[in-house]
Amino acid sequence: MKIYLASPYFNDREKMVADSIYDFLVSNGYEVYFFARDGLVLERDSGVEDRKRAFNDNIEAIMNCDAVVANIERDPEYGIDCGTVFDLAVGWQSGKKIVAYDELSGGRMNVMLAIACDGFAKGEGELLQALSGGKKDWQGDVI
């Protein structure tokens, strides 16, 4: 199964979580695309052509995957990463299996994400089950 890993990658916590998810999936036999390892990583001053290339590369990677694992942990300052939510939505619209990964939320999720996701993982222990299982409805609170 090919996985597109959608995750913020801006601070030490986000990098640690994304790298951990990536390594865990690969060690369990999944083929994983993650922009920070496989794509064009933009700088703040990247030009328009690089931005378009990064956008198109990520869309193509989502189209070529079987599932999207989306790290939707909320940053205390910025909330859920909008790029991750965008990737999740593109995957959902394209009929991909969507698994939300969140170790920190405390059982609350936006209703749009709750309905779009096929599975939910609060850590690596639940990730394989969410990827291999059928649709599982969100049972926690919605916001």
Render pLDDT for 56-75 as a digit per residue (tens, 0 to 9). 999 999 999 999 999 999 88
pLDDT confidence of residue 16: 95
Q: How far is CA 84 from CA 29, 54, 57, 98, 133, in A?
A: 23, 14, 15, 12, 22
Copy the structure tokens of residue 12. Answer: 């030490």
Contact 89, 70 (CB under 8 A): no
Structural domains of the chain ordered from first start:
2-142 (3.40.50.450)
Distance in Å from the first CA to the final CA of the chain:
32
Question: Does residue 102 have a pLDDT over 90?
Answer: yes
Number of neighbouring beta carbons within 10 Å of residue 46: 13
Mean pLDDT of 15-34: 97
Query: Which among 61, 68, 65, 62 has a CA at the least distance from the CA of 118?
Result: 68
SS3 81: coil
Can you give the pTM of this predicted structure?
Answer: 0.95
